[in-house]
Structure formats: structure tokens, C-alpha cells
Chains A and B, each alone.
Chain A
Amino acid sequence: MQRAFRWYPLTHAEATDLLAEAGVVPNEEYGGYDRSAYVPDESRVRLIVAHVP
């Protein structure tokens, strides 16, 4: 059995644009669930926490 699926990791710029267009202002930003620092072009994920006023 063979299956395939597609996924599209965002570039740092695309992620930044997405957040800005949606009006999300990150208060915290991490590079993983361990709360390691997010490093553009190095981290696998950009994990953001936004505080809603």
C-alpha cells in the first residue's frame, strides 16, 4: 500500500505575513514545545503565543 500527502512549510517571511495579515501580534515565540528559542531558517516550527486583549 502506498499513499502520499502534501504539506507546505511556510518560509519565515510567509509566516510573518500571515500573522500580520490576520492581526496576530505574538507575545511569545518559540522554536519548539520545549520553549527553545525560535531561530529563523533553523527551527522546524515557529510556535507563537498571542495574548488577546
Chain B
Amino acid sequence: MSYSQGIARFADLFVSGAAQGPDAATFLAPLCPPGSSVLDIGAGAGGTTFALASRGVHVVALEPDPEMYTVLLSRLALRPELHEFAAPLPQPAGFAIPQTFDVVCSFAVIHLLQPAERLRLVRYALERARGGAKVVLELPVASRARLIKPWQVVATRRLGTADIEFHSAMQPAGEG
């Protein structure tokens, strides 16, 4: 299982103002009122999980990538008010959790997986959803909005007296 492979080193980008977690949580809000339960498959740095937990939603957050899971735990340690609501597990889709959920979701994960892993994740999402529940899946898709981007600054940080710039570049990788 290769969620987040190599991405944890860029975790700072996912917890910045450009992070998608709160937006995803806002999207989910009508589906999961306070007190409901959510399974977040591939929770990453915890953006969506934390935003839901702060609204009183009980979230089980699966994140199998060891580096990203460490980021998730570190951030959660700083939010004791969420500990009652957020339960992180270092597990992938397929983990035999003895519970079903009101909402099962996966954001910004499927495009990181190989085809067999994608199918496993989607089937698992269905399995873990109880009757009457909702499955919410974000499928990043190829489109004209995803043109290859040149080398550019995507974020800046100040670390002590140093200004840090994050640059990114994209290139086609071919099949596989």
C-alpha cells in the first residue's frame, strides 16, 4: 500500500493555507452532523479529520504511510481538544476494523495508488459504510486544468532568521 509515498516530507505544504482539509470537511458537513461517525481513508496530515473532529464528529483516520502518520500524530498531539473525537490508526484500506460508519471518505489519495490498490480502497469504503450511509470519494482526474506546471515557488516559510522557499516542478512520468 503506497498512500502518501514520499509526500510526508512535503507535509508542511499540506498544513498551510493551501491545505484542502477544511474545504473537504465543509463539503462533508451536511452529511455528518455532530455525533456522527466518519472513516477517513488516507487521512494524510489530518486536515479533514481535524476539521471534522472540531465539529464534534467522531473520526477514525487511517494513514498507513509511516512518515505521514508521524506527522498526523504530531499535529494531533498539539490539539488535545480533539482527542475525544479523532482516532488515528496506522493502517491502510482493508484493515479489519469492527465498525461501520455514517460516512466513509477518501480525499486526495486515489491518484497516488496503483490500479489494484484503488479498487481495494473503493470496495473497502463500501464495506465499511453502514446501511443508509454515504461514501464520498475524490477522484483526481486528468483534465485541461491539470496541465504540467513549470518550476515555481509554491510556498514560503520563515525558520528563525532564514526564509525558506518551496519550489515544485511537474513532469510526465509515462505509464505506471
Interface residues of A (CB under 8 A from B): 3-12, 15, 18-19, 21-24, 30, 33, 35, 40-53
A11 to B133, CA, bound (A): 27
Interface bits B145-165 vs A (CB < 8 Å: 1, else 0):
110000000000000000000
Interface residues of B (CB under 8 A from A): 5-7, 9-10, 20, 23-24, 26-27, 31, 110-113, 115, 118-119, 122-123, 125-126, 129-146, 173
> What is the distance, in angstroms, from A22's C-beta to the closest C-beta of chain B?
4
Evaluate contact between A48 and B137: CB separation under 8 angstroms. Answer: yes
A43 / chain B contacts, CB cutoff of 8 Å = 141, 143, 145
A35 to B29, CA, bound (A): 12
From the candidates B9, B111, B136, name the one contacting A8 in the complex (CB within 8 A). Answer: B111
* Residue from B26, B130, B138 whose CB has the most chain A CB atoms within 10 Å: B138
In the complex, the chain A residue whose C-beta lies closest to that of B176 is A8
B6 / chain A contacts, CB cutoff of 8 Å = 3-5
A10 to B121, CA, bound (A): 15
